[in-house]
C-alpha cells in the first residue's frame, strides 16, 4: 500500500522551495521510425547525442541555481513495456528515481496525476516540474531561469507552463494565446489553441500574441490535484485510488490496475489547461517564455533542424558520406555505409532491419506509413531486430523455415527465467564468458567453445555467474519459433503469469 494522499484546495498550501522533477516517459512515438518503435520509443534512444532523450531529460535539473531545493529522486512515469530499460538508463546516468509503472496508457493527465499523488504522499507537496522525456533543449541555464520564474508563480497557487516564442508557422504544435503581461516576461494565459491549419498558424505568428505550447508545466502537486478534482472528478478519484491501492515492486511503484482503468484517457491540455481562465477553473494560469533551443523532436525534419550542419546544410550520424548533397539528413545505425549523392532535402535512416528514405517535407507521413506496416503484421513496426530484455538483449541474426539463429548477451549476475517451449528445441554455443545452465534436473557450467542442447518441452534456464558479459549463439529449431512459445515457472523480473 502507498501512503495516504493529502491534498488541500488550490492556493492554500504554505510556502515551498522544493522542486520535484516529473518525467513523463510513457510515449511510443512512431514519427522517428525506424529508430523509434513501439517497444523501444524515441525517449530511449540517442537522437541528438550519445545519451538517450530520457537520460538528457533526467539530467536537466542538475545544478539548479538559487535557493531552490531539487528532489534527489525525480518521479518517472512509464509503461510496463519500457520499465526495465528506463530503470537501466537512469542507473547508467548515476541517479536514482521513483518509477511509477502505468497499468495502462491513459495519456498525460492521468500520468501527471499519479505523480502529483505520490508527491503529496506523506505530506510533502512539492512544486512539480513536469517534462516530457522526448524533447531536446540546448541552453540548460536558460531553461533553469524560466523554471525559476514559473516556480515563483506556482508558489502562489497558479499553474505555470513554458511557452516557446514561435520562429515560423508550424501546424505540428499547439499554441497559447497570451493574456496580460506580468513581470519577467511572463503573461497570463488567455487560452490554449489546438494545432492550427497552415494559414491560421501564419496568422498566429504574425500577430505576435501566440506562443508554442512546450508541454512543460510547473505546478504545486496539491494545486494540480485540486484543479483536477474540480474539472475531472472521475479521473481524480480513479488516479488517487489507484496510487493509494498500489504496491511497491522492487524499484517500481505499481498503481492498482482496476482503479486506474476507471480513469478517462486525456491530455494535460484538454483535461485542465483549456479550462484555465474560465469560470469552471479553480485556479489561474501563466506562461513563461522559454528561449533555449527547444525542440519536441516530433519528426526527422525537427532532428535535422536541431543538429549542427556542415557547410551544405547536411547532418550525418554514423557511417555516412555526402557527395554533392544539400540540406539532407543521413543516419547509419546498422553499421553499413550510407552514401548520399546529389540529394536535396532528403532523410535517410538505416537500421539493422529497415531503411527509410523520405523527403523532408513529407516526414509527417511516416506515422501513416508505420500504420500500414503494422496492418501487414510486419515485426518492423513494433520491435528492432535487437531486442532489450531485463537480463541483457538478443539479436535475431538469421531465420528460415523451421530454424532461427540468435545472438544472446546476458549481463553479469543476470539470469533468464526458468522456462520451457512446446514447439522448439535449442542449441547453445558459448562464445564468450561462462554460462550456468539448468536443464531439467541438471545444472552445469559451460565455458567458451562449449555447447549444449535443450530438447523440446524440457525446463531450462541460462545464467551468467561471471563478471564479464556472457555471449552465446542460440540455434532454434522446430515447427513454431514465436516469442509467445514461452512458459515461465520462475522469473527474477516478475514476468510469470
The pLDDT of residue 257 is 94
Closest CA to 177 of 135, 211, 139: 211
Cross-strand partners of 4: none
- Rg over alpha carbons for the chain, rounded to the nearest Å, is 25
| Parallel/antiparallel/unpaired status of strands 424-432 and 470-478 | antiparallel
Residues 6 or more apart whose CB falls under 8 angstroms from that of 144 comprise 63, 64, 65
The pLDDT of residue 177 is 93
Query: Which cell is 272 given?
Result: 485542465
φ, ψ dihedrals at 59, nearest 5°:
-80, -10
φ, ψ dihedrals at 415, nearest 5°:
-150, 150
The pLDDT of residue 7 is 37
φ, ψ dihedrals at 381, nearest 5°:
-70, -35
Q: How far apart are CA 349 and CA 6, in angstroms?
A: 49
How many residues can be counted in the chain? 497
The pLDDT of residue 3 is 44
Report the chain's terminal Cα–Cα distance, integer Å. Answer: 22
Coil vs helix vs strand at 226: helix
Average pLDDT across each block of 10 residues of the chain; the chain has 497 residues. List them in order.
42 70 86 91 90 94 89 92 90 91 93 95 86 94 96 94 93 90 93 88 92 95 94 96 91 93 93 83 89 92 94 96 97 93 97 95 92 91 87 92 95 95 96 97 96 96 96 96 90 76
Q: How far apart are CA 361 and CA 107, in angstroms?
A: 28
For residue 34, is the peptide bond before it cis, meaning its omega torsion is within 30 degrees of 0? Answer: yes
The pLDDT of residue 9 is 40
Q: How far apart are CA 57 and CA 414, in angstroms?
A: 28
C-alpha count within 13 angstroms, C-beta hemisphere, residue 132:
26
The pLDDT of residue 11 is 43
The kind and range of the H/E element at 128 are strand 127-132
Closest CA to 239 of 145, 336, 110: 110
The domains of the chain, with CATH numbers, are 18-295 (3.90.550.10), 300-375 (no CATH), 386-490 (2.60.120.10)
Give the Å distances, CA to CA, from 210 to 199, 200, 494: 14, 11, 48
Q: How far apart are CA 81 and CA 102, in angstroms?
A: 10
Give the Å distances, CA to CA, from 493 to 161, 251, 366: 38, 11, 34
Burial status of residue 370 (CB atoms within 10 A of its CB: 0-12, 13-18, 19 or more): buried
Cross-strand partners of 490: 418
- Would residue 170 be called left, alpha or beta, if left means φ above 0 and alpha means ψ between -120 and 50 degrees? beta
Helix H segments across 64-210? 83-92, 108-120, 140-155, 198-207
C-alpha count within 13 angstroms, C-beta hemisphere, residue 112:
33
Beta strand ranges found along 201-326 (DSSP E): 210-220, 247-249, 252-254, 285-289, 294-295, 315-317, 320-323
**pTM for the full model?**
0.86
The pLDDT of residue 114 is 96
8 C-beta neighbours (distance < 10 Å), count: 15
Amino acid at each position: 500500500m502507498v501512503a495516504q494522499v493529502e491534498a488541500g484546495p488550490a492556493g492554500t498550501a504554505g510556502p515551498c522551495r522544493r522542486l520535484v522533477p516529473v518525467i513523463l516517459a510513457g510515449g511510443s512515438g512512431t514519427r522517428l521510425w525506424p529508430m523509434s518503435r513501439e517497444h523501444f520509443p524515441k525517449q530511449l534512444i540517442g537522437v541528438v547525442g550519445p545519451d538517450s532523450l530520457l537520460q538528457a531529460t533526467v539530467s536537466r535539473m542538475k545544478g539548479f541555481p538559487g535557493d531552490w531545493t531539487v528532489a534527489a529522486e525525480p518521479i518517472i512515469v512509464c509503461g510496463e513495456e519500457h520499465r526495465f530499460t528506463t530503470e537501466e538508463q537512469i542507473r547508467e546516468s548515476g541517479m536514482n528515481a521513483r518509477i511509477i509503472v502505468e497499468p495502462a496508457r491513459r495519456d498525460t493527465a492521468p500520468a501527471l496525476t499519479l505523480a502529483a499523488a505520490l508527491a503529496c504522499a506523506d505530506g510533502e507537496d512539492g512544486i512539480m516540474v513536469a517534462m516530457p522525456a522526448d524533447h531536446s533543449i540546448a541552453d540548460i541555464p536558460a531553461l533553469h531561469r524560466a523554471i525559476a520564474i514559473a516556480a515563483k508563480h506556482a508558489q502562489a497557487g497558479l499553474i505555470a507552463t513554458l511557452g516557446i516564442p514561435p520562429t515560423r508557422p508550424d501546424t505540428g504544435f499547439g499554441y497559447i494565446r497570451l493574456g496580460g503581461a506580468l513581470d519577467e516576461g511572463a503573461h497570463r494565459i488567455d487560452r490554449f489553441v489546438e494545432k492550427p491549419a497552415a494559414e491560421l498558424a501564419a496568422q498566429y505568428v504574425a500577430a505576435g500574441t501566440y506562443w508554442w505550447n512546450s508541454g512543460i508545466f510547473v505546478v504545486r502537486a496539491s494545486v494540480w490535484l485540486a484543479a483536477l478534482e474540480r474539472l475531472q472528478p472521475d479521473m481524480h478519484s480513479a488516479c488517487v485510488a489507484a496510487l493509494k491501492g498500489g504496491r511497491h515492486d522492487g524499484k517500481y511503484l505499481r498503481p492498482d490496475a482496476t482503479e486506474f482503468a476507471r480513469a478517462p484517457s486525456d491530455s494535460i491540455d484538454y483535461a485542465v489547461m483549456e479550462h484555465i481562465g474560465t469560470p469552471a477553473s479553480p485556479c489561474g494560469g501563466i506562461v513563461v517564455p522559454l528561449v533555449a533551443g527547444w525542440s519536441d523532436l516530433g519528426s526527422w525534419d525537427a532532428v535535422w533542424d536541431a543538429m549542427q550542419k556542415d557547410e551544405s546544410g547536411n547532418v550525418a550520424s554514423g557511417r555516412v558520406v555526402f557527395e554533392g548533397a544539400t540540406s539532407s539528413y543521413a543516419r547509419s545505425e546498422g553499421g553499413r555505409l550510407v552514401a548520399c549523392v546529389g540529394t536535396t532535402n532528403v532523410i535517410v535512416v538505416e537500421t539493422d532491419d529497415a531503411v527509410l528514405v523520405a523527403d523532408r517535407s513529407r516526414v509527417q507521413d511516416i506515422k501513416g506509413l508505420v500504420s500500414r506496416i503494422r496492418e501487414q503484421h510486419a515485426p518492423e513496426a513494433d520491435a528492432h531486430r535487437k531486442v532489450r530484455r531485463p537480463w541483457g538483449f538478443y539479436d535475431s541474426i538469421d531465420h528460415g523455415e523451421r530454424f532461427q539463429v540468435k545472438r544472446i548477451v546476458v549481463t553479469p549476475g543476470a539470469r533468464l527465467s526458468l522456462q520451457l517451449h512446446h514447439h522448439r528445441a535449442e542449441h547453445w554455443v558459448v562464445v564468450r564468458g561462462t554460462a550456468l545452465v539448468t536443464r531439467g534436473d541438471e545444472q552445469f557450467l559451460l565455458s567458451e567453445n562449449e555447447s549444449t542442447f535443450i530438447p523440446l518441452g524440457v525446463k531450462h534456464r541460462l545464467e551468467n555467474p561471471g563478471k564479464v558479459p556472457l555471449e552465446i549463439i542460440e540455434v532454434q529449431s522446430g515447427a513454431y519459433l514465436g516469442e509467445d512459445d514461452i512458459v515461465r515457472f520462475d522469473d527474477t523480473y516478475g514476468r510469470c503469469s
